[in-house]
Structure 1
């Protein structure tokens, strides 16, 4: 029996995170102790969890942002903010998710997360434009 979880996982991972992000992660870990972990995460998280029915990719992205705020996993958050934009989240929804998480995860975690999210949002969408009067 063939296990295609890695193939499905790499497809979804590239779709959500982008080729540059995935290529960099795989290249950075090629030939190192981290290579097996990259393959494991691709097969199990991306190939088994992200491929499940029941939640849209957009919803999964929103959940990930909240969980990554809680974990204070800012480097992972950076990629998932970009992924959330690819999956249809708006700047406002990403910001609100971080504000919402602050009530459960605390201000330091939310402030750290917002710093990273702001860098990504400006890089991807540009600065917030002042509304015309």
Structure 2
């Protein structure tokens, strides 16, 4: 990754927060998948700006940011990113019920197709992370 903006500390802080929320496996996979490619600079930029600046702002805690991200990713139908952020939401203290309710809430604003698509991903992650409902 380029070193152009690393001096201000945003990259290091961004990596710390990104790993805390998304987990080492997710972050390592994203960085290694893009190492030496045209996407490497994008990973660096996102780590510095989204994770090192936006996620580091006062005013919202990580739990609230996770809930917002789940809603926005449902609206965008960004199911691959949603998968990671459901896991991040669980790490940040969201419950199974809150995540499910977020999908139901989004259905009223984003439509049934977006909510149904999101729920498939959410269900997979919840079962992987928490086990089947009722256990």
Q: Tell me if TM exceeds 0.5.
A: yes
Q: Which residue of 1 aligns with 2:64?
A: 59
Q: Which residue of 1 aligns with 2:121?
A: 116
Q: Which residue of 2 aligns with 1:48?
A: 53
Q: CA deviation at 1:87?
A: 0.1
Unpaired runs of 5+ residues, structure 2, are: none
- 1:55 aligned counterpart, secondary structure: coil
Q: CA deviation at 1:129?
A: 1.5
Q: CA deviation at 1:32?
A: 0.4
Among candidates 24, 28, 33, match of residue 23 of structure 1: 28
Structure 2 residue 97 is the aligned partner of structure 1 residue 85:
no
Tell me which stretches of 4 or more aligned residues in structure 1 moved more than 6 Å. none
Q: Which residue of 2 aligns with 1:95?
A: 100
Structure 2 residue 16 is the aligned partner of structure 1 residue 11:
yes
Structure 1 vs Structure 2 CA RMSD: 1.1
Q: How many corresponding residue pairs?
A: 130
Question: TM-score by structure 1 length?
Answer: 0.96
Q: CA deviation at 1:106?
A: 0.3
- 2:8 aligned counterpart, secondary structure: coil
- 1:122 aligned counterpart, secondary structure: helix
Q: CA deviation at 1:63?
A: 0.2
In 1: Cα distance, 2:61 partner to 2:83 partner: 20
Q: Which residue of 1 aligns with 2:130?
A: 125
Question: TM-score by structure 2 length?
Answer: 0.94
